[in-house]
């Protein structure tokens, strides 16, 4: 900074204002400072700024690595974006709007040197997916910086003081299941989920069961299958298992997410099973890939980008002292996308769920 000031013939304070509040410096002076910085290769030090202001200007996002090898060969980058990618996009967009950067931790393995703790020490506040970080660790971190929980219900009362953003998972699955039951007259529905560690998937299964109960259809107390991962490969394996099982085949495969449903569509095509003529297939999330597979996938669209944006906005409100004393709890609405995989023509969305 001293070198830039000397090269451009201004004070150090002026150089600082150019980077912190550029509109407070005349355009000609600002350009002279920036030209000197370019010549010298000067980039402001975030660490030095943090020492002076006790702020890093960075928000953190802690997320399990949900990469799906099944999307590796998709040339359209937007189509290959998954649930976590969309949340990252939304959070980064909102952070940038307020002058913050985003630090992403995509692996959450525990231990004394856990990545969550490392991220927490380098950011002003962070968002974390529900039930992916031990409660004790979140408790410690939230004493010194704001934490927003993403998705899933607040299952642990000790975390009630944290801000929380989720989507209407149960309502969304309820409406999709009612559509299959009432509009298509289907009765043999197979719900395919994942292990019970996912609160979102459990909420979706509750919506599925509620709709079935209202229609007098036995949905069982557990999903027909619980797959170890919510990937295309596991969706394909689930479809194979259900097709090879003895007894009457289900009329619809209701998957807990779009990635598994897309994998099932591919497996059914290999078997010569026609969708939706022989069997209907549905997903949940509304990832871009759900629109371009054939047949296009009936699903519940959740506002993934908005979920990330809301998390960043809540953190920034806390950091700026603009939030109230009480924790904020938001539930974002979802919408049903009726498409060809259940036998529908493309239809406009019907939005439901709390705001």
CATH topology of domain 169-302+336-352: Rossmann fold (3.40.50)
**Interval 103-152: pLDDT, tens:** 887 755 554 446 676 777 788 998 988 777 777 777 878 888 899 998 87
pLDDT of residue 81: 60
> Rounded to the nearest 5 degrees, what angle is found at the Cα of 133, between the Cα atoms of 235 and 313?
95
**Interval 28-47: pLDDT, tens:** 999 999 899 888 887 765 55
Segment 149-164 mean pLDDT: 77
pLDDT of residue 112: 42
Q: What is the number of other CB atoms lying within 10 angstroms of the CB of residue 322?
A: 9
Q: Which of 95-104, 126-135, 181-190, 345-354 has the highest mean pLDDT?
A: 181-190
CA 113 to each of CA 116, 131, 141, 189, 251: distance values in angstroms, whole numbers, following the listed order: 8, 19, 14, 45, 49
Closest C-alpha among 271, 208, 281 to residue 244: 271
Distance of CA 180 to the CA centre of its chain: 26
Beta strand pairing status for 334-337 and 299-301? Answer: antiparallel
Q: Is 325 exposed, middle or buried (0-12, 13-18, 19+ CB in 10 A)?
A: exposed
Q: Are 129 and 151 in contact (CB under 8 A)?
A: yes
**51: pLDDT strictly greater than 80:** no
Instruction: Name which CATH class applies to 58-168+305-330.
Output: alpha beta
Segment 162-191 mean pLDDT: 96
**347: pLDDT strictly greater than 70:** no
Q: Is 200 exposed, middle or buried (0-12, 13-18, 19+ CB in 10 A)?
A: buried
Q: Is 7 exposed, middle or buried (0-12, 13-18, 19+ CB in 10 A)?
A: middle
Task: Provide the mean pLDDT of the chain.
Answer: 86
pLDDT of residue 23: 82
Tell the residue number behind the tokens 């002292």, with chain if given.
321
Q: Which of the residue ranges 208-212, 221-225, 288-292, 307-311 would you say has the lowest mean pLDDT?
A: 288-292
**Does the fold of domain 169-302+336-352 match that of domain 58-168+305-330?**
yes
DSSP-derived secondary structure letter, 221: S
pLDDT of residue 113: 45
**243: pLDDT strictly greater than 60:** yes
Q: What is the number of other CB atoms lying within 10 angstroms of the CB of residue 354?
A: 12
Give pTM, 2 decimals.
0.79
Alpha helices in 99-159, H assignment, sequence order = 115-120, 135-142
Q: Are 259 and 231 in contact (CB under 8 A)?
A: yes
**Domains of the chain, residue spans:** 2-44, 58-168+305-330, 169-302+336-352
Segment 181-193 mean pLDDT: 97
Which band of pLDDT confidence, cut at 50, 70 and 90, is reported for residue 67? low
List the CATH code of the domain at 2-44: 1.10.260.40
**66: pLDDT strictly greater than 70:** no
**Interval 329-344: pLDDT, tens:** 999 999 999 999 999 9
Alpha helices in 275-347, H assignment, sequence order = 289-292, 304-319
300: β partners = 336
**15: pLDDT strictly greater than 90:** no
């Amino acid at each position: 900074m001293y070198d830039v000031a000397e090269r451009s013939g201004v004070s150090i304070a002026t150089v600082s204002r150019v980077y912190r509040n550029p509109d407070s410096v005349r355009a000609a002076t600002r350009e002279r400072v920036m030209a000197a910085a370019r010549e010298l290769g000067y980039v402001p030090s975030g660490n030095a700024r943090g020492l002076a202001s006790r702020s890093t200007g960075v928000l953190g996002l802690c997320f399990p690595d949900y990469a799906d090898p099944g999307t590796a060969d998709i040339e359209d980058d937007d189509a290959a974006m998954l649930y976590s990618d969309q949340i990252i996009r939304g959070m980064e967009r909102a952070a940038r709007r307020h002058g913050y950067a985003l630090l992403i931790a995509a692996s959450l393995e525990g231990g004394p040197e856990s990545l969550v703790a490392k991220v927490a020490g380098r950011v002003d506040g962070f968002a974390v997916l529900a039930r992916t970080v031990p409660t004790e660790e979140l408790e410690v971190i939230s004493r010194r910086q704001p934490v927003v929980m993403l998705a899933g219900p607040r299952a642990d009362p000790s975390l009630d003081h944290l801000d929380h953003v989720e989507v209407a998972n149960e309502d969304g699955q309820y409406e999709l299941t009612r559509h299959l039951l009432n509009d298509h007259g289907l009765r043999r529905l197979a719900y395919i989920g994942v292990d019970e560690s996912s609160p979102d998937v459990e909420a979706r299964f509750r919506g599925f069961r509620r709709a079935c109960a209202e229609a007098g259809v036995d949905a069982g107390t557990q999903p027909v299958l619980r797959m170890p991962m919510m990937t295309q490969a596991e969706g394909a394996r689930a479809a194979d298992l259900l097709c090879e099982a003895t007894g009457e085949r289900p009329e619809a495969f209701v998957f807990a997410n779009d990635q598994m449903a897309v994998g099932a569509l591919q497996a059914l095509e290999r078997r010569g099973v026609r969708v939706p003529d022989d069997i209907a297939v549905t997903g949940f999330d509304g990832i871009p890939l759900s629109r371009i597979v054939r047949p296009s996938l009936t699903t519940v669209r959740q506002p993934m980008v908005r979920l990330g944006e809301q998390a960043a906005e809540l953190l920034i409100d806390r950091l700026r002292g603009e939030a109230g004393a009480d924790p904020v709890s938001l539930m974002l609405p979802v919408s049903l996308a009726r498409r060809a995989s259940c036998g529908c023509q493309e239809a406009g969305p019907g939005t439901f769920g709390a705001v």
